[in-house]
Each structure stands twice: as C-alpha cells, then as structure tokens.
Structure 1
C-alpha cells in the first residue's frame, strides 16, 4: 500500500514541473512551460521565437518537436522539426494543424527553447544522476554529456545521440580549475532538485536531471526523469562511477 501512495516513478512532466515551480530558488532555472493549445503556441513563439512541443508523458525524446518563428523566412515564418524532417508554414493555423496531425496521442506541453551550447557543431546537454543513499540522503553520483545527432533536435542516446564525458564537452568553455568548480555546482544543483522533489514525491529513490546550458553557461532544468537509465554511465572512462550508481540502485531495490 505504501508504494501505491508514494510511487517511485512519476511520468507526468507537468506535475514534476509544477512541483519544481514551488521552489523560489529553482523556479529561476525552469524554462517557461505552458499547456499545448493554438493560443499558447502563438504566445510562446512571439515571446521566445523557439519552443519545444513535448508529450506530457513521453520518454526517450519520442514525439518531441522543435518549433521556430522566423519572421524574415521566405518559405514561411513558422516551422517545426520532428526527427530529421522540417516543415514550414505561412500561418499559425497551418502550423498548429500540422503539429496536431504529427503529434503522438495524449496531452502535450510547450516549453521555452534554450539555445544549447555546442561541441563540434552539435548541440549537447547533460544528464545529472542523483540517488538516495542507504543513509537516506540525496547524492549526485554521475554527470554525463549527451551530444545530439547533427540532424536531430533531441540529444537522447536512444535517438542517435552520443554519450561523452561532460568535462570534455565543457572544456572549450571552461578551463581548470573553473571547470572543476562548475562540475561541483552541477552536483549541488542536482541534489537541490532531488531534495525539493522528494517533498511532493516522497517515493522517489533516484532522478536523472536533463540540464541544458545556454550561451552564458546558465543551467536550465529541461526535464527530470524518475527512472533514469544507469547503464549510460558505463561509457565513462572512470568505471567507479557506474559501480557506485549500481550499488545504490541495488540498495533501494531497483536491481537484485
């Protein structure tokens, strides 16, 4: 009965975003998010020029679309991309109709787009793994970079993204020792997010925070996965990171 009241896995992006919005500190790092509708799509595009349209309960980047407003574009000011295909339209009505046609079943949301940092001309973000230890404290156990496919809009490994050490991706932007202090900041950032979410979702034992970094190196909370894939951390050269992640995962019963 206890697990039914306090689930370990929360799929609804809207609920997780609403929980994080309750924190005055974390709210500043959340991209503006609205429920999907034609009116909200137009408002968000006029304000941000680029947004992402996402399934409320989606995983692995499936069904995610990038939508741009480019008023000086000849072929059409409105365009969206899903997978590798880009479509352009002359009006918000045409854009909205096409998005509805191509979206997956279920509810969607609109999220402010972040101009991601790039490495080798490819967009990247970071996955921050945070776990509850046997001592019942939250600890960041791993950070890994996700380098997007050059022709795709999502960085997920399951969508042809590439797993790369975060330090390598950040090295063109930060030199040691600033890089080390920045990585420490990200560790604390992940733990702050976990400690806040546990209030709304006390059943959580692990989270994977997808963190976008903009051109000023400001971190943004793109999404929080409550059942993150630990095996991506096997790709890191430091094998102790994966061993620690699996040790904690076994301790809270994810694996035998």
Structure 2
C-alpha cells in the first residue's frame, strides 16, 4: 500500500492526461521529460508531480501523484492536494463526452476547494470562446479584425456569404482549438468563390455549402474579415505569415517572453504549427520582407499590444499567468490580435531545445527560452502562494 509522503516545499500538481501506450504506463517520454525538467528548474522550491482525474482519492483528499525522476520511470506517492495546480490537460474537440464531463467535474471540484492555479478553468472558458475574447479586445480598444457571430448557416447566407463585394474572410468555430475547423473563403476578380482549410480546397457554392452545413450542425461560427498581410519571400515566390507571442506573469508584472513567426501550411486556413505551419525565429523574418518599418519597431508594436491584451484578460480572470497570442499584420506593420491561447506551446519549445528541426545556433536560442519559460512557471506558482 502506498504511504503518504511529507514534503518540506509546497506541492505543484500538473493536471495532465495520461498516455495509455507509455512505457511507464503513465506518461509518454515527451511529457515525462517536461515534468522532469520542471522539477529540475524548481530545485526543491516546489515539489512537482503529475496526475489525472483517475488518480484523485476524493474521500481521502489525497492524490496518487507521479513524481519525475531523472527521465526515468518516476515514482508514485500518495500526497495531499497540491498547493497550486498547473492545468495542462488537453481535451481535443472530438474527445468523448464522458471524458469531457469527468475533466470538467474534476476542475469544478478543485475550484470549490479554493486551490490556487496557474491558469484556472475560468481562463480556459474565456479564451476558448472566440466571441467573448473578441468582445474583450474591442472593449479595451485593442485592434482586431472586424468579427461577427453567426448562429446558423441560413443567417450567414442571408447576411454575408454570397455577397459579391466581399473579397476574403475567415470562418472560425466559436469554441475551436489548434486551428481546427477554420476555413478561408475568397472571391476572385470574376466573382468565383473558393474555400480552403483542414488541408483541403473546395470550389463552387455546392461543395462549400455542404461543408459549412456540417460545421454549423456542430456549433456556432464567427466570420473574421481578412487582413491582407505582408508576405515573405520564398523560392522565387511569397507566402503569408503571422506571429505568435508568448507572454507570462511570473510575479506581478507581465513579461513578453518570445515572438515567433509562423508560416502557413499547404491548403491550411491558418498557420498553426499543429496544423502544419512552419515556425520562424522572429529576427530571421526581416530579411524576407519588403516593407516600410524596421523589425525593432515592429517588436515594440507587438510587445505593446501583447501587454495591453494580457492586462485586459487579467481584468476578467485575475489568475491568468501564461498565454499565447496570435497576431496578424497588415501591409503597414499594424498588428491585429486574432485570439489568445491559454495552453501555449511548451512541447514545441521543448522539442526545439532538443535540436529537433533547428540548426545548432538556433538550438542555443531555444534552450535558453525553454528553461526561462519553465522558471517563470515555477515562479508563478510561488507567487500564487506569496512566497517570493
């Protein structure tokens, strides 16, 4: 029988999904290493463990926590509920209903207990709702593309879809994630409408309507009017790009940690890296652009927008600590905020820090970034407990 263990430092519990096929029956190598790295950064300032809904012993107010151990299999200890929870549990849009209910109930019960969080469930509820986020942006005078909410396809058709004066726009599911379900519709000079997204291209009104009918059967959609972005030179042609900004609040003030360019994948409506987009180090973008402002001036504009957006979100959900912002630029370098993400790309930075797909020089950059991001998370947990 497992015995409870006493710790001299506060517990930081990482709420994360188990991997059924993992060698150690708990977490895949990627997650195990992330947890181990977080523990190394903490250096006993916080005791790091991971758990899922199935590990909670509600009657005992205990958790069977998985503690990392030097990239090895780790160990399981029965521990008290953590002082702080870092929520990294990802539910895909097509997760089964029972699992969604279980995770929601788990989060709600922890909220009722008044535990501290790095990004509480309230943060996810707000950031997942693209319409709510757009409303917050507008109320706080943060530039965003003109956005409208449509409840059904008929409403969209009547108001907008086949009007000849609209050249390009994006359709986004109100509660979508990771670029899923996003389509770009465009009309050429002859009035012909086409649509692309999800790795496919659709031509003609019949094919487009059939696809959109399936989309609206699941949820509401937003229309976001397209911004014409600057284009990067590539192999004698040009490609569009946007920017992901990672921003964290390790103590009281927000810190812009990293600006990352993203180049869109083939037949994708977005540049999400999970959907085939290509990451670009920000200082490498300038050489591939022809436009009137410097990269240093652009950095200032982006950081100013990021800080304003983070403060605006913090007004709604004070416990927010760790977010990613997706930003598009117009031809003059004016940034427009598209959306926020409350689960930034930790595994992306982890992979790049290991040298996956980057040069040795770029690897050094990502190594520094990765460890700095983890240090900020540990500091955020301690700040929640007023320890520093």
TM-score, normalization by structure 2:
0.57
Equivalent residue, structure 1, for 2:201: 86
Name the CA shift for 1:166/1:48 in 2 (closer, same or farther; >3 Å).
farther
Higher relative contact order (CA 8 A, sep 6+): 1
Matches within 5 A, 1:144-155: 144-155=260-271
Superposition RMSD on alpha carbons, in Å? 2.9
Q: For residues 240-251 of structure 1, what are the structure 2 equivalents within 5 Å?
A: 240-251=368-379
Between the aligned partners of 1:99 and 1:252, the Cα distance in structure 2 is: 42
**Contact persistence 2:199–2:266 (CA under 8 A):** no
Partner of 1:198: 314
Alignment of 1:83-232 (within 5 A): 83-90=198-205, 95-102=208-215, 105-119=218-232, 120=234, 121-134=238-251, 136-173=252-289, 178-232=294-348
Asked whether the 8 Å contact 1:30–1:222 carries over to 2, the reply is yes
Change (3 A) 1:79 1:151: closer
SS of the residue corresponding to residue 8 of structure 1 reads helix
Query: 1:22 matched to which residue of 2?
Result: 139
Q: Does the 8 Å CA contact 1:6/1:202 hold for their aligned counterparts?
A: no
Residue number in structure 1 paired with 2:90: none
8 Å Cα contact 1:231-1:242 kept in structure 2: no
Once the two structures are TM-superposed, the CA of residue 205 in structure 1 deviates from its matched residue by 1.1
1:144–1:233 contact (8 Å) kept in structure 2 = no
Q: 1:71–1:104: structure 2 CA closer, same or farther, 3 Å change rule? A: farther
Query: Contact 1:45–1:69 at 8 Å: present in 2 too?
Result: no
Q: Distance in 2 between matches of 1:110 and 1:192?
A: 24
Q: Bigger radius of gyration, 1 or 2?
A: 2
Q: Does the aligned pair in 2 maintain the 1:128–1:190 contact within 8 Å?
A: yes
Residue 174 of structure 2: aligned partner: 56
Which structure 1 segments of 5+ residues have no match? Answer: none
Aligned to 1:66: 184
Q: TM-score by structure 1 length?
A: 0.83
Q: Give the number of equivalent residue pairs.
A: 245
